[in-house]
Amino acid sequence: MEKQNKIYIAGHRGMVGSAIRRNLESAGYTNIVTRTSGELDLRDQAAVQAFFAVEKPDYVFLAAAKVGGILANNTYRGEFLYDNLMIEANVIEAARVHEVKKLMFLGSSCIYPKLAEQPLTEDALLTGPLEPTNEPYAIAKITGIKLCDAYRHQYGCDFISVMPTNLYGPNDNYDLKSSHVLPALIRKFHEAKKNGTPEVVMWGTGSPKREFLHADDLAAACVFLMHNFSDYGFVNIGTGEDLAILELAQTIKSVVGYEGEITHDLTKPDGTPRKLMNVGKLHAMGWKHQIDLQEGIEKVYASLTNEEWY
């Protein structure tokens, strides 16, 4: 990518897209194209084709998606499958038709089998059953990867895929009905502290282990890979380190300064026992994350408490 190239960021207002935009702008990229979902419905094939015909971007970061945590994934199964299939198919096809130089598709670590060997290596894809609670979303993301590979094979398109681990950072979602675990816990502990609530209730046992990457680190990795990766398959993006959800809760409790108790609702699901990325492929290419979890949570919480954030 050259500084003057036109770059389209699909999903620029989300946590991932906004981080990629900040990274590019700070590096001197000025020709960035965006559209809100109100301006361009990526589920509408004709509208997407018309947008690409007018704008003719050179590079595309496909970070737009319908996303959510366990509750949202399991409740809106049809929407999560349909919306994500339509978004990725329309954007990838338009990028082919209008001869985009390179496209990056962003997936999710939920694509891996529920009981895949840990840490998760890229070749574990499609080797076992998925976690049932987010299977529709995972199937959509797997389809995006395979669509990029198929277009590379049939049309010679330089379309690549990356697989981020669990993310957090600016512009995260703090709605308790649809958020992921880290922002949900930040909100729960913040509200409990503010209201003097004696306990914070966690879903499940707290024993599943998760890996968390700051969105600014993800953006840095995405830009790095746009310059340095061009092949079939995909690249895991993560830290290579994980911790139990209960440990995460205790860390957030400490950062927030909440002094009550942590209790467990054992009627709620734990989800996948562990999702740790093997990031050996990424490290071998010369990239490693910079923001550790404690520091990242402190930065996020410090910014949130200074504004209306939900």
185 is in an annotated binding site: no
DSSP 261: E
287 is in an annotated binding site: no
State how far the Cα of 204 lies from the Cα of 223, in Å rounded to an integer: 36
State how far the Cα of 135 lies from the Cα of 114, in Å rounded to an integer: 10
Query: How far from the centroid of its chain's Cα atoms is residue 289's Cα?
Result: 15
263 is in an annotated binding site: no
102 is in an annotated binding site: no
141 is in an annotated binding site: yes
137 labelled catalytic: yes
164 is in an annotated binding site: yes
35 is in an annotated binding site: no
120 - beta bridge partners? 277
Do the beta carbons of residue 251 and residue 297 sit within 8 Å?
yes
- Choosing from 112, 137, 168, 258, the catalytic residue is 137
State how far the Cα of 53 lies from the Cα of 23, in Å rounded to an integer: 26
13 is in an annotated binding site: yes
Burial class of 164 by CB neighbour count within 10 A (0 to 12, 13 to 18, 19+): buried
The candidate with the shortest Cα–Cα distance to 281, out of 228, 243, 213, 242, is: 228
197 is in an annotated binding site: no
Do the beta carbons of residue 96 and residue 57 sit within 8 Å?
no
296 is in an annotated binding site: no
11 is in an annotated binding site: yes
State how far the Cα of 146 lies from the Cα of 159, in Å rounded to an integer: 10
Per the annotation, binding residues for NADP(+) are 11-17, 106-109, 141, 164-167, 180
Per the annotation, binding residues for substrate are 188, 203, 210, 270
Per the annotation, binding residues are 11-17, 106-109, 141, 164-167, 180, 188, 203, 210, 270
Q: Which residues are catalytic?
A: 137
